[in-house]
Structure 1
Amino acid sequence: MMLSAPSARAVDLRVESVDNVLDHVERSLQVELDRDTVVRKRRSVGARTDRRTWIRIERRGLDKIGVQGWNGTECAARLEDIAQPVWRGCVVWQDADEPVMWRADETELLPSAPIGNAILSEDPKLPDAWWQVFNASLDALAAQDTQRVATPDTVTITQALVTEAVRSIAPTADFDTTVEWWVPAHADLNWANMTAPTFSLFDWEDWGNAPRGLDSASLWGSSLAVPALANRVRHERRHDFESRDGMLMTLFACSKILGPEAHPQDPRLEPARRMADQVIAELHAG
């Protein structure tokens, strides 16, 4: 019988004290963190160091660390032809008091600032050169090989998960939800994890094989509050969106926006619903 790991308590690192964690990282990696540059997110903390690098620290419950581990940034270092920060090293340790592990990855500094929040409300007006490197990096990623499986939102993506998501917004649909192509994906592609004006893609902890079009659909979903930007994403990644798997991933992205936790004032609701209806009709038509 397999024993399941105990669940960790929910913690928001934006409000939780992390001083002891930062101290531990400094001692372990023999580095000094610039406390004035600390960026706090729900489950990660980052800061610049005195050797002109960046350290990202993540807290993850043991129940969220699967067979493949959670060394995504380290494993992404071997990927070729992708614009990303160079990985330098890491330290991993288990929390003494909770069923939790901590991981700190050190990488080169980003070449430019992150574009914005995960979900944008204004058009960043990215130049054509940016989109060229963006496309080249995503195409290069999809062409590589890995045994990893993507974990968007720390949940391992499976055929069953895709089917459940599609059925949640198309309960009476009778089209096949089977994914044909599984390819490497970043699995957390949004505007907070890319830089501009120089393109770089970071935060690789969830990458792995996923249905073709997951990244494109995820970024489109993050862009829906800015219609021109959402249309640009669909245009640039049209070979993904026009594929059958890309249509399923569009519904997958829509399910996250239209789900039971949707905020009634979310400006993405109406365009997500319209697109879901359109894709469902196309899949029915076959």
Structure 2
Amino acid sequence: MDAEEIEKAVEQRRVWLDKQLDVAAARLAVRLVGDPVNTFDMRSAGAVAQDGDNGDVWLRVVVEDADYEPVCRWDGNVVANSILGVDKPIVLRWYDWRHAEEYLWGRRLRGEVMTLAPGETVAPGGVLRDDPMLSDSWWHELGWSLSALSDTPMQWHNELGVVDTTIRDVRFHFGFTLSEKAFADVNWTTAHADLHWGNLRRPQLCILDWESWRPAFAGYDLATLYCNSVLHEPTARRIGETPELQTRSGQLALLSAICRYLSVIGEGSDIDLIEGRLRAHGANILSRVRG
């Protein structure tokens, strides 16, 4: 498709998603009061809504897309209600249905009513460009939340083949083949797995978007946040110097996160801004963890 066709397709998807918000609002008995907010990939949309005695809530609608599975788990947000000790929204109720009209006919959709996150998003595009203006207490809360999350038990079926994927991506982006032995002593933890500045709120910490939480290399959440901070050196330094990222597992987590973001360079997101820094840092890490 040429640029004009892509623009028309994106607009068609946006209008369709807005209509699905209306459908979800009716089925979940809430009243939309805010303007719709769409994700970059036009896979989901959300808006502030009124929910009777619960007051303001967030209504989200998402459309099933096989290209995102199993990275984005259909029940991720709902099952995340079981996580304790983490500052995050709670899903109050939800509803699934199949779309019965021609455009995206048969696709499954889900509407979720969840508690409204306080404050504002630190960096809506995900990548930090300047001082996030966060208090020391905010950083402490983040540390406590990630620690509580890491202690959350979760079954591990290796759905994503993380080790194999990292080996393959390192070969593609850096031209070097890591041995599986390089991962023999890696530590694993339960992670949010999509921790960037678009999923963090201020001035009170709240962590959004729990579709992807899963086991990962220990330190992976800090690794993804580091990647999204490299344009603001003081913040990147603060995250990069955390003890979790000084370990071998933390370095492999950083390498894995860097490869993940390099894989989406050129798609028009803010990630395009950090390619050079990611490649340089990845090469530096690789020189130390080869095995």
The verdict on a shared fold, with TM-score over 0.5 as the criterion, is yes
SS at match of 2:231: coil
Instruction: Tell me by how many angstroms 1:15 deviates.
Output: 3.3
CA contact (8 A) 1:163 1:177 kept: no
CA contact (8 A) 1:77 1:86 kept: yes
CA distance in 1, matches of 2:210, 2:258: 23
| Aligned residue number for residue 37 of structure 1 | 35
| Aligned residue number for residue 183 of structure 2 | 178
CA contact (8 A) 2:229 2:236 kept: yes
* 1:90 aligned onto 2:94: yes
CA distance in 1, matches of 2:50, 2:273: 41
Post-superposition CA distance 1:39-75 (Å, at most 9, x none): 1223211111112111121112246455995111111
- CA separation of 1:68 and 1:174: change in aligned 2, threshold 3 A: closer
Instruction: Tell me by how many angstroms 1:99 deviates.
Output: 5.0
| Aligned residue number for residue 60 of structure 1 | 64
Q: What code does the residue aligned with 1:120 have? A: L
| Aligned residue number for residue 223 of structure 2 | 217
* 1:138 aligned onto 2:146: yes
Normalised TM-score (structure 1):
0.83
The count of corresponding residues between Structure 1 and Structure 2 is 269
SS at match of 1:233: helix
Matches within 5 A, 1:101-250: 101-117=108-124, 118-147=126-155, 156=160, 158-175=162-179, 176-178=181-183, 180-235=186-241, 238-250=242-254
Q: What code does the residue aligned with 2:142 have? A: F
- CA separation of 1:174 and 1:203: change in aligned 2, threshold 3 A: closer
- CA separation of 1:14 and 1:247: change in aligned 2, threshold 3 A: farther
Any gaps of 5 or more consecutive residues in structure 2?
A: 1-8
Instruction: Tell me by how many angstroms 1:269 deviates.
Output: 2.6
CA distance in 2, matches of 1:192, 1:40: 13
| Aligned residue number for residue 17 of structure 1 | 16
Post-superposition CA distance 1:205-263 (Å, at most 9, x none): 1111122222111111111121222112213xx22211212211211222234448448
- CA separation of 1:225 and 1:196: change in aligned 2, threshold 3 A: same
- CA separation of 1:206 and 1:231: change in aligned 2, threshold 3 A: same
| Aligned residue number for residue 80 of structure 2 | 76
Bigger drift between 259-268 and 163-172 goes to 259-268
CA distance in 2, matches of 1:15, 1:33: 17
| Aligned residue number for residue 107 of structure 2 | 100
CA contact (8 A) 2:32 2:47 kept: yes
- CA separation of 1:33 and 1:195: change in aligned 2, threshold 3 A: same
CA contact (8 A) 1:150 1:187 kept: no
Post-superposition CA distance 1:165-205 (Å, at most 9, x none): 22223323555442622221111111111100100111101
- CA separation of 1:30 and 1:157: change in aligned 2, threshold 3 A: farther
CA distance in 2, matches of 1:198, 1:192: 14
- CA separation of 1:232 and 1:149: change in aligned 2, threshold 3 A: farther
- Structure with bigger helix share is 2
CA distance in 2, matches of 1:144, 1:209: 10
Normalised TM-score (structure 2):
0.82
Any gaps of 5 or more consecutive residues in structure 1?
A: 1-9
Post-superposition CA distance 1:120-154 (Å, at most 9, x none): 21221211110000010011101110126798xxx
Post-superposition CA distance 1:2-38 (Å, at most 9, x none): xxxxxxxx9678734334312211221011111x432
CA contact (8 A) 2:182 2:289 kept: no
| Aligned residue number for residue 48 of structure 2 | 48
| Aligned residue number for residue 288 of structure 2 | 282
Bigger drift between 197-206 and 78-87 goes to 78-87
Question: Identity of counterpart residues, as a percentage?
Answer: 26
